[in-house]
């Protein structure tokens, strides 16, 4: 007996209670609150009702309000003329199961059947396939997220007990008035024929709602359908992210200026690069010319100008285009970097050109070689910084990080002194061969990582 009780407890927890808790508390796979400046979404469950739904539609029409009706399939089948009117007057119709049964008390296949039956009824009457779903009492089970993934599950921010007649129109109005603000999703009931409801309760709801619509009009609010609220929410969130991103870029540019001053970076004329000559502090590297680069040897450390990098990222359509443009910029800049190496007073001590890159394919065609950063705090911090960099410089950067994050590994890139000097005269015989320069280049991205190995002490 005890085993059966424990089995029942675990079943209810995993199948019913836990999914409902997660969806309600964390908004997992559900929409319940909008982000809006002046819009409120009012929704109605359990209808249509032959007495109260037409009265409700008359009221909404007077105030120009557009709402969402989550209908019970059996009721919709019984009153197709009301469903047709809801649709014709510009409201949105969603699914509320074929019968008003809880998803906790039905098998997953039964829930799916209820949804499909209701969807078919609505589509047959209106010609439009519904895309919104509200389970009765807002209760979902473990399988709802997977089996009805093609529908947007809609919950609410305000429920007012309007299915009970004893609440009364005045108290109901006061409850709704406290929640009257943009982004709210109200749930009301235009039918009192379900279990636990009072049949004449919608009369109080309609009386209270008229006062709410009047208050909303006075405040300049709009009453919109859920699908419009979802659209506005996505737009407003995108604007907020855009504003936040602009702030990040501004802070990033200030850091760029400070970094240049602190580490005494110098511009390389006519290129988007800055440089400094410093001691190398990484592991020993076997260069292409057969020599070894050791800790303490001097390198010409180059950095892409972050402001130009951001402007470049905003002007291209994809990270692949960004990478190709950067490779081309590097090809154009190498002659200037080579001349800097010859002209700088410390240039004679430099053993190699050195930098950090996030995506490195394509650099070999220009004479670069790459190797992994040593495992440690610097490697981790560099990866974090470069991923942040990609998310800022390109509109789809965050998406690309999610898709290819495991491949975005920062590496050290080197070019031996002799190979760099071979670029010093773009038209001379010392320039690398045309075949080497025109070798196909795949997506590559070289970026200023904001800190070098010797600064961190690796």
Give the model's pLDDT for residue 441. 36
Tens-level pLDDT at each residue, the chain (458 residues) = 444 544 444 444 444 555 455 445 544 578 999 999 999 999 999 999 999 999 999 999 999 999 999 999 999 999 999 999 999 999 999 999 999 988 777 888 888 899 999 999 999 999 999 999 999 988 776 556 555 667 899 999 999 999 999 999 999 999 999 999 999 999 999 999 998 899 999 999 999 999 999 999 999 999 999 999 999 998 888 777 666 666 766 777 787 788 888 889 999 987 888 999 999 988 899 998 889 999 999 999 998 877 776 666 666 566 667 677 778 888 889 999 999 999 999 999 999 999 887 655 677 888 899 888 777 776 676 666 666 655 555 555 455 544 444 445 678 899 999 999 999 876 433 445 444 443 433 333 333 333 333 332 22
| CA triple 295-301-305, angle to 5 deg | 155
CA atoms of 276 and 429, how far apart (whole Å): 28
Contact criterion met (CB below 8 Å) for 133 and 153: yes
Burial class from Cβ neighbours inside 10 Å (0-12, 13-18, 19+) for residue 349 reads: middle
Residue 353: strand pairing partners: 300, 415
CA–chain centroid gap for 434, Å, is 44
The pTM of the full predicted model, rounded to 2 decimals, is 0.57
Backbone angles phi, psi at 118, to 5 degrees: -65, -40
CA–CA gap between residue 286 and residue 351 (Å, rounded)? 12
Find the catalytic residue in 45, 46, 144, 305. 45
For residue 22, count other CB atoms closer than 10 A to its CB.
15
User: In the annotation, is 45 catalytic?
Assistant: yes
Domains defined for the chain, CATH in brackets: 2-235 (3.20.20.370), 263-456 (no CATH)
Burial of 7: CB neighbours in 10 Å, binned 0-12, 13-18, 19+: exposed
Give yes or no for a contact between 443 and 364, defined as CB atoms under 8 angstroms apart.
no
d(CA 188, CA 191): 9
Q: Are strands 132-133 and 152-154 parallel, antiparallel or unpaired?
A: parallel
Distance (Å) of CA 112 to CA 23, 131, 327: 19, 14, 53
Catalytic residue among 91, 96, 114, 189: 189
Asked if 189 is an active-site residue, the reply is yes
Residue 206 CB neighbour total at 10 angstroms: 19
Alpha-helical runs (H) found in 192-318: 201-219, 226-262, 306-315
- Is the separation of the CB atoms in 414 and 335 below 8 Å? no
Structure tokens given for 402? 């999610």
Single out the residue of 347, 349, 330 nearest to residue 423, CA to CA: 330
- Residues 144, 102: Cα–Cα separation, whole Å: 12
CA dist 36 and 239 (Å) reads 11
Question: DSSP string spanning 302-324?
Answer: EEE-HHHHHHHHHHSSSHHHHHH
The answer to whether the CB of 277 falls within 8 A of the CB of 299 is yes
CA dist 87 and 84 (Å) reads 5
The pLDDT, as a whole number, for residue 326 is 77
Q: What is the pLDDT of residue 450?
A: 36
Q: Which residue has the tokens 């709009």?
A: 222
CB 208 within 8 A of CB 58: no
pLDDT of residue 401: 45
Residue 97: per-residue pLDDT:
94
Q: How far apart are CA 186 and CA 60, in angstroms?
A: 15
């Amino acid at each position: 007996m005890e085993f059966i009780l424990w089995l029942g407890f675990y079943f209810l927890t995993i199948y019913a209670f836990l999914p409902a808790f997660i969806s309600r508390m964390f908004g997992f796979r559900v929409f319940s609150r909008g982000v809006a400046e002046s819009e409120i979404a009012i929704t109605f469950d359990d209808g249509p009702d032959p007495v109260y739904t037409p009265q409700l539609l008359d009221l909404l029409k007077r105030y120009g309000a557009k709402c969402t009706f989550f209908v019970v399939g059996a009721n919709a089948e019984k009153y197709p003329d009301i469903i047709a009117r809801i649709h014709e007057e510009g409201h949105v119709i969603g699914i509320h199961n074929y019968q008003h049964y809880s998803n906790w008390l039905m098998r997953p296949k039964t829930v799916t059947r209820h949804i499909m039956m209701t969807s078919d009824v609505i589509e047959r009457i209106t010609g439009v396939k519904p895309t919104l779903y509200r389970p009765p009492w807002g209760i979902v089970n473990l399988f709802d997220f997977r089996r009805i993934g093609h529908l947007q599950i809609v919950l609410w921010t305000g429920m007012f007990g309007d299915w009970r007649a004893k609440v009364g129109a005045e108290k109901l109005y006061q409850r709704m008035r406290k929640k009257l603000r943009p982004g709210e999703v109200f749930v009301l009931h235009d039918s009192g024929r379900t279990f636990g409801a009072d049949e004449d309760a919608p009369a109080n709801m309609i009386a209270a709602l008229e006062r709410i619509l009047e208050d909303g009009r006075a405040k300049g609010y709009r009453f919109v359908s859920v699908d419009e609220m979802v659209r506005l929410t996505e737009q407003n969130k995108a604007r907020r992210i855009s504003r936040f991103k602009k702030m990040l870029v501004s802070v990033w540019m200030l850091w760029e200026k400070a970094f240049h001053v602190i580490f005494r970076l110098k511009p390389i004329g006519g290129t988007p690069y800055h440089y400094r000559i410093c001691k190398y502090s990484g592991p020993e590297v076997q260069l292409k010319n057969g020599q070894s680069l050791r800790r303490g040897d001097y390198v010409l450390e180059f950095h892409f100008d972050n402001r130009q990098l951001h402007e470049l990222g905003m002007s291209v359509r994809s990270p692949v285009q960004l990478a190709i443009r950067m490779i081309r910029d590097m090809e154009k800049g190498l002659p200037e970097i080579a001349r800097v190496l010859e002209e700088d007073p410390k240039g004679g001590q430099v053993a190699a050109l050195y930098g950090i890159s996030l995506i490195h394919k394509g650099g070999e065609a220009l004479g670069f070689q790459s190797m992994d950063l040593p495992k440690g705090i610097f490697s981790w911090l560099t990866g974090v910084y470069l991923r942040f960099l990609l998310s800022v410089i390109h509109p789809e950067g965050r998406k690309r990080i999610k898709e290819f994050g495991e491949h975005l590994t920062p590496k050290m890139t080197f070019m031996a002194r002799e190979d760099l000097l071979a670029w010093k005269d773009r038209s001379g015989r010392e320039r690398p061969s045309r075949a080497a320069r025109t070798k196909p280049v795949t997506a590559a991205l070289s970026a200023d990582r904001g800190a070098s190995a010797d600064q961190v002490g690796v």
